[in-house]
Amino acid sequence: MTIICTDDSSDGLIERDIVEAAGKSFAFRPCRMPEELVEASHEAEALLVGLLHVPGDLLRQRPQLKLIVTCSTGWDHIDVAAATELGILVCNAGDYCADEVADHTMLLILAAWRNLTRLTAEVRQGGWNFDCAGAPRPLQGTVLGLIGMGRIGSRVAQRAKAFGLRVLGYDPFIPPEQIQARGVEPVSLASLLAQADIISLHLPSQAGKQPLLTQAAFAQMKPGALLVNVSRADLVDMPAARAALESGQLSGLAFDVWETEPPVTPDPLFNHPQVLITPHAAWYSTASVRALHQRTAEEAVRILSGEPPRFAVNHPHPSRLKIEDSR
């Protein structure tokens, strides 16, 4: 079995140690351009991929490819529909950075709620006025609406409740009773939008569908709501979000993701006093970097040894793999 790692954020050392210790063949071919991925993937039976687009056309030219493991939580850069049709199993890195993202979510909430950027700007400009950013509302008793109650959303809920927030949860994939079992009040999306002072997104990419938060959704929100997004940029209709910010329907944006990463040119919103932007850094820590490379390599070895996957994204049937149970 040949496992090839094309993730250019890695040096390949962790993956090589894990794969070769399992007695399997490994090659490290980091790719930054799509044409490099075409060349690097020729004899791969399993691919450990970075964030380069993996199109269906490429997959159709790889009859020996059985498995793709993406070195990320999101998988919207992979044509999963084509992989499923071809019998190729796709997996992600699971919850390798769930705590980091939950921490970063709370960082954005606290910084935006307390107007941290305005306060620090005041000091840097030589001022020392505690009321330069206006008086923030108390966080205690504020309503936080979590759209997405998976691994990360559940961890955010735990942290938020420690700050005294009332937490509402909506998830199109998780039954209300499971949300309630996680200590969160389950509500419909419409109810969440109407009640929440802070809305935080924790869902996967819409993958070409209409954004979850459109102009109509912003109109349903409680006036002055804060919107936090550490998930995927395509969940939000950005022209509608800009309009909601200017009208006051939104009091602010706190985002770790953007429409194009990195942006081709700086967006005017980056300098907006009610906008807080971080450069897709929520996942990042000393522990998460190692866990990312370790988990993806271990997942590939486990599956190619005939064991069921831990972090399957799809369930192709028939599959090119022979494993005990892909579900």
Active site residues: 232, 261, 280
**What torsion, rounded to 10 degrees, do the Cα atoms 40, 41, 45, 46 define?**
80
Distance CA 177, CA 162 (A): 22
Does residue 310 sit in helix, strand or coil?
coil
Between the alpha carbon of residue 110 and those of residues 2, 158, 194, 212, 226, the distances in Å are 47, 15, 21, 24, 11
User: Edge-to-edge strand order for the sheet containing 198-201?
Assistant: 185-186, 166-170, 143-147, 198-201, 225-229, 250-255, 275-277
Residues 6 or more apart from 299 whose CB is under 8 A from it? 69, 91, 93, 94, 309, 310, 311
Distance CA 204, CA 65 (A): 25
- Tokens 């070895």: give the residue: 301
3-class secondary structure for 43-56?
A: CCCEEEECCCCECH
216: part of which helix (H) or strand (E)? helix 215-220
What is the per-residue DSSP string for 36-82? HHHHHTTT-SEEEE-SS-B-HHHHHT-TT--EEEESSS--TTB-HHH
